[in-house]
């Protein structure tokens, strides 16, 4: 009587344990899947100089300024051009075909001749996209032409002035 009762309870417990075991097997199976992972490293952007920015030779006279535009045209204001060899700065930019890039120019460059200085500013840009500070590397290359204005007030000392214009380009 009492033994029978205990025996049945034991059967119930064993039945539960067996089914729990079956469920564990079902959820214990691991499933794996792969996702492709990709990254594209593009060619670094590079810039090289084709020609320097040159204002040529001029006489100060009443003083003023001397501008050279991106077409290489010289415009004197209050100064007199003596010889005409002059050029806008030109650069070649290369990198990832079709990628856009940004151009960074200084606000001003100082040209020095001994202790005397001339300030060059008001830089202008011509590139494959137009005249702004952004352009596109169509076919992986672009031409950058930069004009500027040299400030030559009355009293500017005679001499041969030189300085460095640094142009930076970066993908955008």
Partner 1 sequence: MSGREIRMSVVVKPAAAPIIAVLLLWAPASVSAAPTAVTKTQDLQFGQIACDSGVSGSVTIDTTGSRMVSGSVKPLGSAYAPAQFVITGNVGQTYTLTLPTEFPVTSVGAAMTVTSLSASIGSTGVIPASGSLQFVVGGTLLVNGAQQSGAYSGSLTVTVK
- Which stretches of the chain bind partner 1, using CB under 8 A? 1, 4-5, 8-9, 11-12, 15-16, 19-20, 22-23, 25-45, 95-96, 99, 170-171
Walk across the sheet containing 134-136 and list its strands.
Answer: 134-136, 100-104, 168-171
**Least distance in Å: CB of 100 to partner 1?**
8
Residue 35 half-sphere exposure, CB side, CA atoms within 13 Å? 2
**Least distance in Å: CB of 13 to partner 1?**
9
For partner 1, which is the closer residue by CB, 45 or 111? 45
**Least distance in Å: CB of 16 to partner 1?**
6
By the 8 A CB rule, do 88 and 71 touch?
A: yes
For partner 1, which is the closer residue by CB, 22 or 71? 22
Dist. CA 105–CA 86, nearest whole Å = 20
For partner 1, which is the closer residue by CB, 61 or 100? 100
List the one residue out of 74, 70, 71 whose CA is nearest residue 86: 74
**Least distance in Å: CB of 143 to partner 1?**
20
For partner 1, which is the closer residue by CB, 36 or 158? 36
Q: How many CB atoms lie within 10 A of CB 67?
A: 18
């Amino acid at each position: 009587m009492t033994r029978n009762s205990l025996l049945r309870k034991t059967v119930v417990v064993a039945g539960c344990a067996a089914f729990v075991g079956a469920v564990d097997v079902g959820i214990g199976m691991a499933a794996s899947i792969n996702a492709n992972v990709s990254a594209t490293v593009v060619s670094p952007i590079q810039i090289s100089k084709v020609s320097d920015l040159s204002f040529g030779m001029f006489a100060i006279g009443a003083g003023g300024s001397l501008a050279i535009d991106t077409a290489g045209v010289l415009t004197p204001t209050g100064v007199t051009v003596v010889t005409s060899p002059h050029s806008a700065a030109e650069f070649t930019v290369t990198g990832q075909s079709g990628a856009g890039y940004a151009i960074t120019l200084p606000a001003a460059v100082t040209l020095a001749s001994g202790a005397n200085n001339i300030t060059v500013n008001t830089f202008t840009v011509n590139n494959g996209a137009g005249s702004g500070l952004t352009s596109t590397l169509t076919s992986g290359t672009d031409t950058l032409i930069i004009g500027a204005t040299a400030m030559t007030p009355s009293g500017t000392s005679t001499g041969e002035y030189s300085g460095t214009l640094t142009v930076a380009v970066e993908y955008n």
